[in-house]
Amino acid sequence: ANYFSKFSKAPVICKLVGRKVLDGVGQPTLEVEIYCTVKNYEKMICSTVMSSHSENALPETAGADEKERNDSVNTAVEWVNESLNAMLRDLKPTDQCKVDKMLGEYFTKQVEQKKEIQKQEEEEVEATLALTSCTPSAKALPGGKKAAKPGKKVAVAERAIPPAEPVESVLCGSLAIGGTSLAIAKAGATISHIPLYLYIARLKHDQDSPKEMTLPFPMVTLLNCEKISPAKLKLVKEVMLIPPVHLSLKQGIERVLDIQKEIMRLLEPPGKAQSGPQLADSKKGKAHNAGKKALLRALKRISHLGCLITGCDSLEQPLLLMQTACNNIGLELGTDMYLAINCAAHELMDYVKGKYEILTGMFKSPDEMVDMYVELLNKFPFIIALIDPLRKEDRQQWNNICCALGSKCYLVAEDAATYISKLKIDQNINIPMCSGVVLKYINQTKVSDLIELTGLLDGQRRITILGSPDGESSDDSLVDLAVGVGARFIKLGGLSRGERVTKYNRLLAIEEELAKNRTLREANLEFIAFAEESQPEKHPSDVLPPPKQDALPPQFSQPALQVRSLQLPENSTLT
């Protein structure tokens, strides 16, 4: 019956539809629908919803930010329905490179027009100021003298830190570029009758289907630490769990859920949290429970990240709480589960003092921060990833921390990186020395940009982590992108809120599909020894043998994590 269909004309784009919708936190964002002419009929092929992203919006600017967001989405809708709709009509949805090139040229043109408008406005302002410059200049002199005196007091060597780089401006309407590029990719996959992750993998490997594929390991957020009073701890933004590599994704998620349930029980008010297993009889249990009791400042709220919100008074408290929860259900951190911490250090810098405020009233210089992290990992060796431990401007300290800890911990740049479209400079990655980068598919990011950048990161032995933005949507395409580009980790937030759980469900579905097709390749995680030059000798004990996989199906077996400094039992199932 379908014999003659193979002789029909290939589907082409006939219409793009953009509309304003709401994301998972109620913020306006963009939805793009792709219509194609298939066998002479117009047919809606797919749609995609972009995730909104805001960089630490302040309460006093909330009104302006909301107006700016609305204006940006409205402009994006206008671009899609008018300019991009006319520009991409009659193109094949499978020609991703051509589409992305046209989108890039259109965006560049819009940026140039914006610069011309800003230049004209600045010239008008300067002309106005030139007419009224006499009176302000007479008043400015005394002010300059007054400002000079405190300047002398604060001119100390410890404050000589690199200034913060200017905030990267986002062009109004840029959502249209990223949304259209991703929607075209989804349409191409649908037309080709293959999953999106396989379609992305073919694009990355020049149309060759990989024989085997790996899944990214999830960084599951369990705690979101508030940085407002009465909590004193400011350094930690997220505490995340990373399942061990010998578990399947499904087994790892189930284990994380068990720990999450125990965390919620431990954070119950004292009168309610009396039942359940405790480790108070052992010395270790007493120490952990002491840390837990000191932490009971939990708020029975779920953050926009899909995890519990809590407050802490010290850096050790959330770590001891996680340790207690694992011990209570018979698990051991460092063997049965690992931790990652999102430090978000860029939020902590006091530019008057030139130091990071890690606790209320406690400040540390960039060099002292490196020493603190070294001490922290020596005390808690089950931490295998630190995200944004420093600002991106502190490049020398990034070098120091990578040489000190890179062989036993992933040191990842998230805010310390930049937007995907601006990371590439002359085929180089313009970021500090680090183990890898958290990439977010936002604004003017195109699918081709993401594929090209992950290829550059692979060539530099840096890992790729795909992260979900703050304002996440129910669109699960991010998971397919992560699998398709071969990301090492995926950072989706917690196991609550529908827009985040949807993505975990998609990841589980891909694992099941790859396992069924026997194309799930064994993952190989290893840390980067940045200081290898100064330590050329390698001992056989540096790489421990993989665990036995007798109890697991062959498609779920994965080799061991190569960790040099983790002190694990000899019979450990994870090395």
Task: Supply the residues annotated as catalytic.
Answer: 443
Tokens in use for 203? 């694009």
Phi and psi at residue 406, to the nearest 5°: -60, -25
User: For the chain, how big is the Rg over CA atoms in Å?
Assistant: 26
Whether the CB-CB separation of 474 and 24 falls below 8 Å is answered with yes
Inter-CA distances, 378 with 53, 108, 428, 543, Å: 35, 48, 33, 19
- The pairing of strands 489-493 and 463-467 is parallel
Q: What is the dihedral of CA 464, 468, 474, 477, to 10 degrees?
A: -20
Distance CA 289, CA 320 (A): 8
CB atoms within 10 A of CB 505: 14
- The pairing of strands 489-493 and 428-429 is unpaired
Whether the CB-CB separation of 263 and 224 falls below 8 Å is answered with no
Classify residue 32 by its DSSP letter: E
Burial of 72 (0-12, 13-18, 19+ CB in 10 A): buried
Angle between helices 395-405 and 366-379 (to 10 degrees): 20
Whether the CB-CB separation of 38 and 11 falls below 8 Å is answered with yes
Instruction: Convert 367-381 to b/e letters by CB count within 10 Å (16 or more is b).
Output: eebbebbeebbeebb
Whether the CB-CB separation of 441 and 481 falls below 8 Å is answered with yes
Q: Which residues share a beta bridge with 108?
A: none
Whether the CB-CB separation of 524 and 217 falls below 8 Å is answered with no
Q: In a 3-state reduction of DSSP, which class is residue 413?
A: strand
Helix (H) or strand (E) holding 424, with range, is strand 424-425
Whether the CB-CB separation of 28 and 52 falls below 8 Å is answered with yes
